[in-house]
Structure 1
Amino acid sequence: MTEKLLIRIDQSAKQAIHWLIYSAEQQIIASGEYKKLSDLAQLTEKAQGRETTVLLSAAVVQLKTIELPTKWNRKLEQALPFMLEEQLACDVDNVFIAIGEPGSKDDKPTINIALCDRDMLAELVALFDEHQIQVKHILPDALLLPEQADDELAVIELDGQWLCRLGQWHGCVIEPSWGADYLHALAPKQITHFSPADALPEVAPKIAKEAEYELPLALLAKNLGNTPFNLRQGLFAPKKSTPQWWKDWRSGLIAASVALVGFVTVQGLQIVQLQNQADQFKAEAIDTYKQAFPNRKVREALLRKQIETELRAISATKQGGFLDLTDKFVSVYSQVKDFQPETLRYDHKRNELRIRVKAKDFQVFGQVKTILEQKGLTVQQGSLNNDGDAVIGEIRLRGEA
């Protein structure tokens, strides 16, 4: 961002607004003036994409340098309102105190401060927010005049008034009607003026900076980078602006976040469902094991190993055995549809496998019997019962005894 917007608010009865758009490369880009504060809305568009600084008339901001009992620290900052209470003509709670740079005078620590009406500043900040003008800095205008020696005065004429800066931390605005008396009381050793000063009283030698005669705001803009002070601090510190990349990508990122949350939620639900199914299958396996081996103690963590051990033992007792019978029986699944075993029982003495089966119709049992007999098994078919849309019956498979 190279272009900047400078807005000067006159807090007197005039309430005029002076503005200037400038950049270090192009200098003055545009400038103008509005007659009343209600015209501020006309600067909304000009402020977009530009760093905005607001200058308050030095008539409403008092600059002071306070001597401190010790080096500036956090505790002194908290005690500062009480230290100033006797120096103020109004309630200290109605005053906003902005902290400047610490320093020293006659080997004593000091702190520069600026005082202004708290409500006035709050209303001004709210007014700029209302017009969507993001203000980064608020400064007293006289503080941007070129700094002089402690007893020397810098002045420039602006809209019939004179902006004055004495030394490093003293500023004011004077009117021609009473300015002469003020300057005599101030008694500067030298007056450096950046606009024609014939109307100023001869209270001190005048040094004309004719080469720098220009728009007052242009002169003030040149010194903006040399002033670290900002009234926008503490209660009035600017809110962090939203980065442009967030404005550009916000909608997409929000949509992606919603999609991600939805995906994680669906995956979580699927995991829960699978875990429930796994628990159900595990319970069924335990029940089947208990039915097949009622005298055996079930160890859930070792259930698979227990089943494998029992099956090896069964298979070793008879030639062919349980594994041979189940292997031949399982081969039926690839050839017959709508055929579902419900329970299996094995009699190792007779080497006989009894299977309770649920099938689609009676023909399925005949088809299964034929296939198993072709594999060399003795097949006995028990009674068949019609159970609604299915037929339930028993098949006995026998190998060599």
Structure 2
Amino acid sequence: MQRLILRLGCDLHAPVQWLVYSEQDQEIIASGELSNALNLSQLSEHANNSEVIALAPCSEVLITQVTLPANASRKALGAIAFMLEEDICSDINNHFFALGPREGDLQSVAVVAKDTLSMWQQAFKDADIFCQTMVPDALALPHIDNTLSLVQLGDDIIARSGASQGVSGEADWLLPILAKQAQDNEQEIKCFTEIDAAQALPTETTSADYSDLPLLMMLNNISAQSLNLFQQDYAVKREGNPHWQKWKVAAILAAVALTTNIFVKTLELNSIKAQRSELSTQISDTVARGFPDIGQYRQARQAVEREMRRLEQAGGGLSMLAILSQMSDAFASSGVTPQTLRFDASRTELRMQSVANNFESLERFRRDLQSLGFAVDQGAINNQGDQVVGVIVVKG
């Protein structure tokens, strides 16, 4: 896992120090300084593969503590802004109050202007960097009892003097104040970087520890319990994995194409099913007309073949198929079409209901059959629209 830590300035034009550290390899991947926060997008590649932690300059953040009743309710926490109203020179409605760890009756609080906090968040958004954690820079320094911890980043001095106490500002004016404060409070001073104008510090109570780069030391000092300015109304929620965003449009198009293809295939399948159902109905109707005595069956082809074998093997006289074979020329010349066929094998008699265009066609058909040596009886003949329907009995 990689972690990217960076320190913003009081405005977007201030330099930004940054460092990327690999916890797995226990080594620094890269570090440097941007000329200003408008160039944060240069870190987006590192940010995509890292947990991003931002440091806010304490020159823009008031860090303090408020004494609360032992069993303070949520309503008491909501009143913290009014408890600090006298310590803030402007309208408290323009400030955001972030809550930190609580020790006994002491509640740590960080106060920052809403406009400033929104400016920092917008800078990350414009750079397409996802950052959920912003800690006041002084609170990222080691907390050592009765000791003032110092770091210099660029022209700024960052100092931590207690669990919830810290400041930052330009070295020229802040360093003498810190030296006087340490002397009045009988505090030792520990420097974690080289300090410009260090002669302003009392040499007898000042020590140094340069074992780590300042940003790495501050990164290791931040934990889940650290005071995070990005909370409550300013909590940052992930909108989506940045890698996923790159492929989101392609994935949506692929899903639409797949859905469309499935829809089209479903329509085609339903159409085929409808055609099969219609064809099955036509086959059943045709079999029923041609073989009215065929009975129930599952497979039309097997049933028809079985019925034809039965008719061919019927004893005595000609079979129905033999009779129909001899009648083929008569059907063709007269234009008569059989609608139903019923064959009585015992009497070698074929009864059929036939359709013709007119009475003359039926009569010609009857004469043609008689010329073939068949005995033909003609039943009732009826008109059906432009056609005539009659029953003809043929005996072999």
Sort the TM-score into its range (normalised by shorter chain): 0.5 to 0.7
Q: Is the 8 A contact 1:329 1:372 kept in 2?
A: no
Query: 2: distance between equivalents of 1:273 and 1:86?
Result: 82
What count of residue pairs does the alignment treat as equivalent?
A: 324
User: In structure 2, how many angstroms separate the alpha carbons of the residues matched to 1:215 and 1:64?
Assistant: 27
CA distance in 2 between counterparts of 1:49 and 1:40 reads 15
Q: 1:115 and 1:137, CA in 2 relative to 1: closer, same or farther beyond 3 A?
A: same
- Structure 1 residues 324 and 71: CA distance shift in structure 2, 3 A: same
Which residue pairs with 1:111 in the alignment?
A: 107
8 Å Cα contact 1:72-1:111 kept in structure 2: no
Describe the superposition over 1:78-120 as per-residue Cα deviations: whole angstroms up to 9, x where unpaired. Answer: 333333334321111211111212221xxxx332111111111
Counterpart residue number, 1:6: 5
Matched, 1:16 2:15: yes
TM (normalized to structure 2)?
0.65
Alignment of 1:57-136 (within 5 A): 57-104=57-104, 109-136=105-132
Find the aligned partners of 2:224 and 2:206 in 1 and give their Cα distance. Answer: 22
SS at match of 1:177: helix
Task: Please say if 1:145 is aligned against 2:111.
Answer: no
User: Structure 1 residues 128-137 or 235-244, which shifts more?
Assistant: 235-244
What does residue 159 of structure 2 align with?
164
1:215 to 213, 216, 232: 213
Please state whether the residue corresponding to 2:338 is helix, strand or coil.
helix
What residue identity is the alignment partner of 1:208? S
Q: Which amino acid aligns with 2:15?
A: A
Residue 50 of structure 1: CA displacement?
A: 2.4
Q: Which residue of 2 aligns with 1:35?
A: 35
Q: Where does residue 149 of structure 2 map in the other structure?
A: 154
Letter in 2 for 1:51: E
Give the equivalent residue in structure 2 for 1:237.
Answer: 235
8 A Cα contact 1:95 1:116, kept in partner: yes
2:199 aligned counterpart, secondary structure: coil
Deviation readout 1:110-168 (Å, 9 max, x if unpaired): 3211111111111121122112222232111111111112x431112222332110121
Query: How far does residue 393 in structure 1 lie from its aligned partner after superposition?
Result: 4.3
- Offset, 1:180: 2.0
Q: Secondary structure at the match of 2:75?
A: helix
CA deviation after TM superposition for structure 1 residue 383, in Å? 6.3
| Counterpart for residue 317 of structure 2 | none
> 1:368: how far off?
2.6
**Residue of structure 1 aligned with 2:193, choices 192, 195, 200:** 195
- Answer yes or no: is the 8 Å Cα contact 2:4–2:19 preserved in 1: yes
RMSD: 4.7
> Secondary structure of the residue that 2:218 maps to in structure 1?
helix
**In structure 2, how many angstroms separate the alpha carbons of the residues matched to 1:155 and 1:56?**
16
Residue by residue, what CA displacement relative to the aligned partner does 1:29-81 show, whole Å, maximum 9, x if unpaired? 32222333434343334433222222121111111211223535433343333
Alpha-carbon distance in 1 for matches of 2:152, 2:243: 43
Partner of 2:338: 368
Contact 1:191 1:205 in 2 (8 A): no
Identity across matched positions, percent: 23
1:193-342 matched pairs, under 5 angstroms: 193-196=191-194, 198-202=198-202, 206-210=205-209, 212=211, 214-225=212-223, 227-243=225-241, 246-247=244-245, 250=248, 251-252=250-251, 255-256=254-255, 259-260=258-259, 263=262, 267=266, 326-327=292-293
SS at match of 1:368: strand
Give per-residue Cα distances to partners, 1:253-290, cap 9 Å, x unaligned: 66346634764687589879999xx9xxxxxxxxxxxx
Cα deviation digits, residues 153-187 of structure 1 (max 9, x gap)? 11122223321101211110143335323542463
Secondary structure of 2:219's partner? helix
Name the structure 2 match of 1:55: 55
| In 2, Cα distance between equivalents of 1:205 and 1:54 | 34
Return closer, same or farther for 1:71/1:101 CA change in 2, 3 Å cut-off.
farther
**Which 5+ residue runs of structure 1 have no aligned equivalent?**
279-321, 336-361
Q: Which has the larger radius of gyration?
A: 2
**Does the 8 Å contact 2:289/2:341 carry over to 1?**
no
Residue 55 of structure 2 aligns to a residue whose secondary structure is strand
